């Protein structure tokens, strides 16, 4: 039960944005690479094609637009220059003003979607859960309150709220005190789902101890994530830990810091032991503190021990025990209820920050609501597929496993993802989702993404990112102007880390900049033709 900490659990300096900005190559080499590519590719305005050319929509054949421009050949030639040499690419681009397909490459090949999978989750949640949906956490009882003493058991029902915090629970306990309850002659029973599936099939074992793969449970407190720091001792290579003392976990370490970075093999490991005990071993290269974000392994135990401590802090006396239960009796009277933000706010955080816990919590909720069963990943997967297919999207060859995209078993094609984007663009009830997407250089995961936080893509791209080891995907909308948008999906799988570091910008940025430039030239040339026709109608009609 080991996790490689140096693989996914990395130090994030406080000045992270400025460091990331410095790490991005200047615009000059980025523009230069495109200039070289453009010099090798005939301009689209000169690439007139025979109107009788076969236009097979499956990819890699000539794709003519309504004006006869050979977009397919243009972008095929472009890819021969800018495509990463070791990656598998799947691409789809469509002009939303006339629904013409501008380009497709391996559009029906099934690949790993990573977090672009969250687009499917968002659509399904909007269809099934509705705008008024929220997660509720509630204190209730069948007991009798007299003179500040509640005689009977107190129940706290959890609903898998991915945003529930200790501050929320403290506020609920304060409300109990304000309602006159200072003593409970009974037990506090924390109610959650029995034998629940907290992790989806296909989640990478190395990720399970890290917060972005925290267990998706009925019991969620502070995102089931514990943050701390591993620090080197001043006069030795030994390490020491810094975690909040009030947290009901135990973390130990025998790790060492290779301060001079001389060790040929230096790697940290996290062992997940019973009862939320973690042990860090191995070696970390460097002499700077390492920020840690460890996923809670046993959410029910964590909630139980957290509430035990919080009751004491709230000065509520309990004659019985704090325990876990899986059912509530009939006839409970609600005492205090906490509700999460509504669905739109949850989806905003999910899409902007690519929040895995929110995505999978909503995914499981969709399945439970759709099939009226207990929450699990299998029901969520079937429900999402059924909901989207009811909207006319053919997912018969796809593989949907979770709602976040963490599973390595997920498979989807660029065309299928494009159909989801197309549905969002044309359906008024789903169109608000577009406003929740990250904007290049402005918000969310596109705020500081290399190649997107500067001209010409800054403010021009609204899209969902999808990144994991060997995967770099992007799916969304490219704006030519206020009323002209291009729908696009760029999926890169099998990405080489060496190629990624050597590239002046992500392939998606290079492709989208060329798409922006080329389509802008076509629109401009078409505008000039329209002006010529208006000014010289007789001459043009004779040609």
Active site residues: 115, 118, 354
The pair phi, psi for residue 50, each rounded to 5°, is -65, 130
Beta bridge partners of 466: 473
User: Distance between CA 280 and CA 269 in Å, rounded?
Assistant: 6
Joined tokens for residue 88: 């598998």
Longest pairwise C-alpha distance within the chain: 99
Cβ burial of 375 (10 Å; 0-12, 13-18, 19+) is buried
Q: Backbone phi, then psi, for 145, in 5-degree steps? A: -100, 125
Q: Residue 524 and residue 522: Cα distance in Å, rounded?
A: 5
The strand order across the sheet containing 225-232 reads 239-242, 225-232, 290-295
Structure tokens at 174: 């304060």
What is the number of alpha carbons within 13 Å of residue 482 lying toward its C-beta? 0
Task: List helix spans (H) across 191-324.
Answer: 299-313
Three-class SS state of 66: coil
**Contact (Cβ atoms closer than 8 angstroms) between residue 49 and residue 75:** no
Q: How far apart are CA 96 and CA 492, in angstroms?
A: 23
Q: Collapsing DSSP states into helix, strand and coil, what is residue 15? A: coil
User: What b-and-e string marks burial along 436-475, b requiring 16 or more CB atoms within 10 Å of the CB?
Assistant: bbbbbbebbbbbbbbbbbbebbeebbbbbbbbbebbbbbb
Do residues 137 and 161 make contact, with C-beta atoms less than 8 angstroms apart?
yes
């Amino acid at each position: 039960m080991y996790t490689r900490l140096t693989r996914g659990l990395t130090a994030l300096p406080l000045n992270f944005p400025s460091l990331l900005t410095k790490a991005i190559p200047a615009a000059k080499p980025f523009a230069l690479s495109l200039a070289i590519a453009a010099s090798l590719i005939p301009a689209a305005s000169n690439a007139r094609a025979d109107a009788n050319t076969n236009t097979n929509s499956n990819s890699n054949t000539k794709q003519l637009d309504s004006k006869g421009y050979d977009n397919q050949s243009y972008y095929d030639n472009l890819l021969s220059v800018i495509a990463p040499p070791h990656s598998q690419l799947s691409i789809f681009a469509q002009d939303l003003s006339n629904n013409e397909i501008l380009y497709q490459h391996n559009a029906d090949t099934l690949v790993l979607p990573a977090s672009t999978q969250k687009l499917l989750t968002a659509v399904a949640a909007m269809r099934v859960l509705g705008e008024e949906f929220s997660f509720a956490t509630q204190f209730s009882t069948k007991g009798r309150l007299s003179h500040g003493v509640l005689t009977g058991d107190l129940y706290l029902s959890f609903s898998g709220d991915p945003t529930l915090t200790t501050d929320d629970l403290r506020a609920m306990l304060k409300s109990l005190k304000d309602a006159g309850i200072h003593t409970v002659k009974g037990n506090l029973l924390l109610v959650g789902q029995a034998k629940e599936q907290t992790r989806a099939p296909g989640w990478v074992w190395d990720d399970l101890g890290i917060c972005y793969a925290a267990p998706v449970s009925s019991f969620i407190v502070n995102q089931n994530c514990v943050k701390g720091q591993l620090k080197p001792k001043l006069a030795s290579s030994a390490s020491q830990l810094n975690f909040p003392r009030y947290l009901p976990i135990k973390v130990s370490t025998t790790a060492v810091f290779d301060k001079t970075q001389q060790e040929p093999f230096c790697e940290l490991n996290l062992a997940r032991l019973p009862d939320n005990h973690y042990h860090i071993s191995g070696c970390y290269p460097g002499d700077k503190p390492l920020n840690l974000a460890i996923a809670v392994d046993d959410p029910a135990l964590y909630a139980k021990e957290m509430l035990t401590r919080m009751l004491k802090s709230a000065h509520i006396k309990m004659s019985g025990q704090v325990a876990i239960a899986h059912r509530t009796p009939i006839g409970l009277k609600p005492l205090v209820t906490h509700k999460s933000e509504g669905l739109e706010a949850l989806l905003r955080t999910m899409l902007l920050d690519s929040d895995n816990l929110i995505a999978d919590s909503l995914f499981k909720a969709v399945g439970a609501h759709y099939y009226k069963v207990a929450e699990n990943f299998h029901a969520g997967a079937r429900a999402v597929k059924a909901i989207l297919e009811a909207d006319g999207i053919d997912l018969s060859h796809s593989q949907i496993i979770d709602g976040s995209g963490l599973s390595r078993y997920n498979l989807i094609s660029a065309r299928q993802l494009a159909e989801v984007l197309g549905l969002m663009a044309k359906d008024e009830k789903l169109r608000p989702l577009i406003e929740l997407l990250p904007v290049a250089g402005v918000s969310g995961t596109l705020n500081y993404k290399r190649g997107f936080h500067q001209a010409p893509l800054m403010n021009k791209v609204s899209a969902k990112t999808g990144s994991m080891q060997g995967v770099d995907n992007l799916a969304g909308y490219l704006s030519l102007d206020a009323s002209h948008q291009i729908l696009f999906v760029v999926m890169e799988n099998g990405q080489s880390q060496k190629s990624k570091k050597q590239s002046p910008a992500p392939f998606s940025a290079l492709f989208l900049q060329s798409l922006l430039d080329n389509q802008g030239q076509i629109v401009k040339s078409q505008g000039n033709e329209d002006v010529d026709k208006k000014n010289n109608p007789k001459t043009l009609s004779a040609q």
